[in-house]
Amino acid sequence: MPAFFMSGSRAGRHPANLRAAVNPSPLPFGTRIWFAWACFFRALFDGQFAARVWAVREAPALPPAASAPAEVAPSPTAHDHPRTAPVSSDPTPALQLLALLQREGRFVDFLQQDIASFPDAEIGIAARVVHEGCRKALRSHAELVPVRTEAEGARLTVPAGFRADEIKLVGDVKGHAPYSGVLRHRGWRAKTLHLPQIVGEHDSYVLAPAEVELG
C-alpha cells in the first residue's frame, strides 16, 4: 500500500534527459506505463503538478519559447517535463487521505487486520461498513469520472496522439495508430480532489489517535 504514495522517491530513477526534451520522440511503452502510474498519483496529490499538467493540456500549441521550456511541454503527447529538479514529495495529502478514509470508513483498520481466519460472511459485513464510509468520504472529497464513457466491451478506435496516461494498450500490442480494440476497463480520473486544510500543530502521520476512555 505505501508504495502507491511514493512516486516522489522514485523520481531519482526517472531518466534525467527526459525533462530537457524540447522536441521529444515518443517514449518507450514501458516508460509510459510507469509514467502514467506516477502521474496519476502525483496529479492526485500535488496540486501544483496537476496545474502544470493541466496547463499543458489546455495550451498544446503554445510555443516552447513562450515560457520556461522545462515547464511547458511542446506537444500534448509528451508528458515528460515534471521533474525539473529532484522533488521531495510532501506526504501530507496522502496521510490526510488515509486519515480521512480511516475516520469515515475504518479503512486502515480493515487493511491492517489479518482477515484470513474470518468467514466470508463476516468480511462481507465489515466490507459494508468500510464501503459505506469510504465511499461517502471519497464522494465528498473527490469527483471521480471514468476516463472513457463507452460501455466496457465496446469496440473503439484509439487515434494517433492518444495520451498514454489516459489509455493503456494491452494484449497483442503492436503496429501503429489508429488502434482498434475492445474497452476492457473504463479507467478512472479524479476530476477534483479537495482535502481538509491543516491548521495548528497537527501531526499528519497520526492517522487515527489512540482512544483512552476515562471514567
Partner 1 sequence: MSARFAVGIDLGTTNCALAVAPIDPANGAEGADRTDARPRVFAIPQLVASGQVEARPLLPSFLYFAHESDGPQALPWNAERRFAVGEHARSRGVDAPSRVVSSAKSWLSHPTIDRRAGILPLSAPEDVEKISPVEVSWRYLEHLSEAFDAAYGGGDNALAQQDVVITVPASFDASARELTVEAALAAGIENLTLLEEPQAALYAWTEALGDAWRRQVRPGDVVLVVDVGGGTTDFSAIAAVEKDGALDLVRVAVGDHILLGGDNMDLALSHVVRQKLEADGKSIDRFQQASLVHASRVAKERLFEDPHLASAPIAVASRGAALLGGMLRAELTQEDLARILVDGFFPNVPADARPVAARRGALTQLGLPYASDPAVTRHLASFLGRQANALATLGLAPETPGRLLHPTALLFNGGVTKAAGLRARLVATLDGWLASDGAPPVRVLAGGDADFAVARGACVYGLVRRGKGIRIRGGTARAYYVGIESAVPAVPGIAPPVTAMCVAPFGMEEGTEAHLPAHEVGVVVGEPATFRFFGSTVRREDAAGAVLEDWGPGELEELAPVEVTLPAEGRREGDVVPVHLRSRVTEVGTLLLEAEPRTPLHADEHWRVELSVRGGASA
Single residue of 10, 57, 184, 194 touching partner 1 by CB under 8 A:
194
Under rule CB under 8 A, residue 109 binds partner 1: yes
The one-character DSSP state at 182 is E
Name the 3-class secondary structure at 126: helix
Under rule CB under 8 A, residue 200 binds partner 1: yes
Between the two ends of the chain, the Cα-to-Cα distance in Å is 38
Residues 6+ apart with CB under 8 A from 178: 157, 158, 159, 160
| Contact criterion met (CB below 8 Å) for 89 and 42 | yes
Measure the CA–CA gap between 112 and 63, rounded to whole angstroms.
50
| Only segment of 18-26, 74-82, 106-114, 161-169 that touches partner 1 (CB under 8 A) | 106-114
In the bound state with partner 1, the residue whose beta carbon lies nearer, of 75 and 204, is: 204
Under rule CB under 8 A, residue 96 binds partner 1: yes
Q: How far is CA 1 from CA 94, 184, 187, in A?
A: 11, 24, 20
How many residues at the interface with partner 1, by CB under 8 A? 28
Q: Tell me the residue type at 82.
A: P
CA dihedral 24, 27, 31, 33 (to 10 degrees): 120
| Only segment of 3-11, 101-109, 146-154, 162-170 that touches partner 1 (CB under 8 A) | 101-109
CB of 109 to partner 1, least distance (A): 4
Under rule CB under 8 A, residue 120 binds partner 1: no
Under rule CB under 8 A, residue 112 binds partner 1: yes
Under rule CB under 8 A, residue 103 binds partner 1: yes
Binding site for partner 1 (CB under 8 A): 96, 99, 103, 106, 109-110, 112-113, 115, 118, 122-123, 125-126, 128-130, 132, 194, 196-202, 209, 211
